[in-house]
Structure 1
Amino acid sequence: MKGAFLTSRVVRKGLQASTLQARQRSSLPEQAHQTASLVQGEPNYPVVATAIPGPKSQELMKDLNDIQAVGSVQFFVDYARSLGNYVADVDGNILLDVYTQIASLPLGYNHPRLLRAAHSPEMTLASVNRPALGSFPDARWPQKLRSALMSVAPEGMTNVQTMACGSCSNENAYKAMFIVYRNRQRGSEDLPPIEDQQSCMLNRAPGSPSLTVLSFEHAFHGRTLGSLTTTRSKPIHKVDIPALDWPVAPFPMYKYPLDQFVAENSAEDERCLQRAEEAIEEYNRAGKWVAGMVIEPIQAEGGDNHASPEFFQGLQKIARKHQMAFMIDEVQTGCGVTGKMWAHQWFGLDGPPDIVSFSKKMLTGGYYHTDKYRPNAPYRIYNTWMGDPAKVLQLEEVISVMKDDKLIENAADVGAHLMTGLNGIAERRPGLLSRIRGLGTFVAFDLPSGGQRDKLMAVLRSKGVVSGGCGDASIRLRPSLVFQRQHADIYLGALESALAELGGD
């Protein structure tokens, strides 16, 4: 594998000089670059051989466009040559990837332990025979759930329901909310009466009740119909698609730096909590009963927006007061990226949430839940596959690597290093970077405008760095858990060089 990344001595020498200049610009300690890589054989730095997308990618885009829309395709990847924190494209470019397949690679590309796990007989059987888990699971399925998903379950969460992706995880979690809420309204956990069963087939009450889920401005929870109703980040996700009349509340929009606006941000928490409760009461009075609320610990797609522990504690109290579900969507924030296994562990909640959904770096989708939200009859929460045992086998190995290599601690350390570097750049280039924020490596910053953000991302890519945008003018970092200080320094050096290029100095 290592040989696939060898370039000419001239190219390597030039890149080494460029990396040295980046280190000097970023004013970060030299010893940070001497850490051994957690993925043996990965490149030491990016290599840019062509424009990106290059000629081969452009040819493939034309080919694909004959059968499928390609407007979102950035370039074509050579997955065989990608390794660790570096993604290779079909034109010979090797890019430092701080976006990692939209936040979904826990150990980067081609981690050797995952490759070994992929060749096991157990993985072959799971892949070839992909079972309908709700009806025909393998004999080892209970043990695999315990050794993988339940071994990292949030405290107090005693059940897990596997699914295939984030959207379907949230969709089925909403159904669990509705079932429990309706049981409470009827005063019984028995199967619904015959009138309900008949009327639901006509999409009418009482079998199809007027129940809703509260979500928050700028949220992203998926693109299927129910989850799309709770998604409120970008119009392109929703326009022309029918949506349900469900309540929405504001998510706190803080002033930065946080330590200079404590009173203002506390008042913003109170405003948003009050608006959330008002929305619940308004919908309940109208008979559109709010069965639960769903919220991200850090709003991702909508702009990497953070809120205080006190805000989340307040929401949990409101949910309990109104006897509704309190659900936390950890699709992007889960799996150790914030310096804890689950981001909501930072909030000091009074007991567990009712439901916690996951996907992305967890490889499989699904949701944890308390006993209360276990379905009261077969097939009420069901689909053909209900997840993928091959992904759970991979996750089992990922969790083992996370423990062996202390990757959650690594995320906390590297995240602090990134924040220090970004704040240093902001001080040297006032007016360009703002709202620098993050937990662990779940880090973001703003540019003065969306146009400047997009230009900066393009220049970063020309320097061999893949990054992602979010919100109106934010750049978000979503590196793998094997992202280390030396990778952070390469990123920071490229960022400062790109800013200088855009600024003309």
Structure 2
Amino acid sequence: MTSAFRVLGSSARNASMRSLRTASIARHTRPYASAAAATKTSNGGMTETAFFPDEAAGPTVATAIPGPKSQAAIEQLNKVFDTRSLNMMADYRKSYGNYIADPDGNVLLDVYAQIASIPVGYNNPTLLLAATSPEMASHIVNRPALGNFPSNDWAEILTTGILSVAPKGLNQVFTGTTGSDANELAYKAAFMWKRRQQRGADVEFTQEEMNSAMNNALPGSPELSILSFKTAFHGRLFGSLSTTRSKPIHKLDIPAFDWPQAPFPMLKYPLEEHASENAAEEQRCLDETERLIKEWHAPPAAIIVEPIQSEGGDNHASPAFFQGLRDLTKKHDILMIVDEVQTGVGATGKFWAHEHWNLDAPPDIVTFSKKAQAAGYYYGNEELRPNKPYRQFNTWMGDPARAILFRAIVQEIERLNLVENTAAMGDYLFTNLEGLAQKYPGEIKNLRGKGQGTFIAWDSPRRDEVLKKGKTVGINIGGCGDSAVRLRPMLIFQQHHADILLEALEKIFKS
């Protein structure tokens, strides 16, 4: 194909590319998922408009999982790639909407969604159109080193996509490649900001600073830290791993920075029955956070916190707790970094989970990835731009192709009102899960996530068994922490999907 294109004339080459694109769309898309395309009736008798009217009507379990074709594929893959963390072997060409397929003909309702990373469904037609556009093709085959050679439309791509949904008060972005990368970049921004404060805005680096930095020594390598919270997860790179506190397996054998960790509130449920105890627990955590800010030998330049601690077990705190954290960062002149890698892009019934907090002042930095299909951090303070070029820099500095995809995701979210849909589906799910918890009190403990969209979890005394049995009844579901079952459906998850999920869970609880 490449050699053929080389010898084609310009017009013939363009015609061939158009032909290929048309064929690609015909092969891989289904009818455009119009919001008014069709209706389905849920078990409760309510009529709803189906976002993906031609997706599977329900799960199909044709074989054990993994089946024979999957087992063969896993054996082949294992020869060249570590498969020990494998959940299931997928066939993405046959996956569609809310359903993930495997090579053996099994089709599962996916409420795990690639660890909370699929926003608007498998093979979404809107995203496929964006992916097969000439604009996308150009940015894929000519991937620019954005810091040195950005394309002339990079500003437009950012303003019409990533920045069109920027958190309130944050109007700039630094793009990256992964959630871990986004957090690491945010830490660097925080350290440079703090040292600029200490040194003076327009003061040049001294020769001693430059020389000592090359030896990882003072004063060029300052004794500063990032404060994180117990049971937090912020990534697996060196800086982000030092702030990750969820599981030992992530951290074993890896040298780490000596940075502080504050306690994160461990709330008791139901919340309304433990209001005074939970308030006292949150105040205890705030008091210890302040003590660490004041006393840690390497003063924090910033704190980083997840709106909901996801990998650590879906641990929640109240808006008052996060308001208290913001007050502490203002009081002690340090930054507040909010890690929205897993909670962002509509999952909690708000586009950004920290919108639930009603802060008087926005966070200084908000990191994102996963459902955005792109990554980076938002900020608003001009002082968070490094004072010199090449200080916050790498070859790619993000990926325009992923930014174009995020723009299409935003358009799809707005077209179908998917944030509002997720809030409504969360309320429906939570109410029905409360009913299951009353019916099966030994199966659902500490149900949490009320009012947080579909970002719902509970503790299970047989969590791993529940996850495994899920596939036998047609659902792909995930866990976190030591005992939590967590729901991470896509934003296109609707009531008829919720009814399938609830029925499947009850089958598991009965077994």
2:458 partner amino acid: F
State the one-letter code of the partner of 1:348.
N
- Out of 220, 243, 251, the position equivalent to 2:233 is 220
Any idea what SS the aligned residue of 1:281 has? helix
2:45 paired with 1:31 = yes
> 353-362 or 68-77, which moves further after superposition?
68-77
Q: Could you tell me which of 40, 43, 58 is aligned with 1:45?
A: 58
Which residue of structure 1 aligns with residue 446 of structure 2? 435
Partners of 2:194 and 2:98 in 1: CA distance: 45
**Equivalent residue in structure 1 for 2:361, among 344, 351, 354:** 351
- How far off its partner does 1:197 sit? 1.1
Q: What is the correspondence of 1:232-381 to structure 2 with a 5 Å cutoff?
A: 232-283=245-296, 286=297, 288-371=298-381, 372-381=383-392
1:128 paired with 2:141, answer: yes
Distance in 2 of aligned mates of 1:496 and 1:2: 39
Supply the distance in 2 between the matched residues of 1:156 and 1:58 (Cα, whole angstroms): 50
2:429 matches 1:415: no
Alpha-carbon distance between aligned partners in 2 of 1:132 and 1:222, rounded to the nearest angstrom: 24
Cα distance in 2 for residues equivalent to 1:241 and 1:275:
27
Deviation at 1:68, TM superposition (A): 2.0
| 2:93 partner SS | helix
Using structure 2 for the length normalisation, give the TM-score.
0.90
Letter in 2 for 1:145: L
Does the CA contact (< 8 Å) of 2:43 and 2:499 recur in 1?
no
User: Displacement, 1:158?
Assistant: 1.7
CA contact 1:53–1:74 (8 Å) conserved in 2? no
Distance in 2 of aligned mates of 1:323 and 1:298: 24
Pairwise CA distance, 1:192:
2.0
Matched, 1:387 2:398: yes
Does structure 2 conserve the Cα–Cα contact (< 8 Å) formed by 1:337 and 1:440? yes
Q: Cα gap change, 1:74/1:2 in structure 2, threshold over 3 Å: closer, same or farther?
A: farther
User: What is the TM-score when the length of structure 1 is the normalising length?
Assistant: 0.91
Amino acid at match of 1:30: G
**Deviation by residue 1:82-139 (Cα, 9 ceiling, x = unmatched):** 0000001011100100011111111110001111111110010011111111111111
1:31 deviates by: 2.1
The 3-state SS of whatever aligns with 1:298 is coil
Match of 2:198 among 179, 185, 207: 185
Equivalence map 1:159-170=2 (5 Å): 159-170=172-183
CA distance in 1, matches of 2:355, 2:503: 32
Q: What is the identity, as a one-letter code, of the residue corresponding to 1:351?
A: A
Q: CA RMSD in A?
A: 1.7
Q: Any residues of structure 2 matched to 1:148-167 within 5 Å, and which?
A: 148-167=161-180
Matched, 1:461 2:461: no
Secondary structure of 2:49's counterpart equals coil
How many pairs does the alignment contain?
473
**Which residue in 2 is equivalent to 1:85?**
98
C-alpha distance after superposition, 1:294-342 (max 9, x if no partner):
0000000001111011100110111111111111000000001111110
> Contact 1:144–1:392 at 8 Å: present in 2 too?
yes
Look up the SS of the partner of 2:394 in the other structure. coil
- What 5-or-longer segments of structure 2 have no aligned partner? 1-24, 29-40
Is this contact kept in 2: 1:2–1:42, CA < 8 A?
no
Query: Per the alignment, in what secondary structure is the counterpart of residue 432 of structure 2?
Result: helix
Cα distance in 2 for partners of 1:278, 1:320 equals: 15
Q: CA deviation at 1:212?
A: 0.3
After superposition, the C-alpha distances for 1:161-217 in whole angstroms (9 at most, x for unaligned) are 110010010001000000011111112344422211111111111101111000000
Equivalent residue letter for 1:484 = Q
Q: Which AA in structure 2 matches 1:269? A: E
Alpha-carbon distance, 1:3 to partner: 12
Give 1:43 deviation, angstroms: 0.4
1:202 counterpart = 2:215: yes
Are residues 40 and 375 of structure 1, via their aligned partners in 2, closer, same or farther at CA, if it must alter by over 3 Å? farther
1:2/1:41 contact within 8 Å kept: no
CA distance in 1, matches of 2:306, 2:205: 32
Q: Deviations over 1:233-287 (max 9, x none)?
A: 011111111111000000000010000000000001100000111111121xx3x
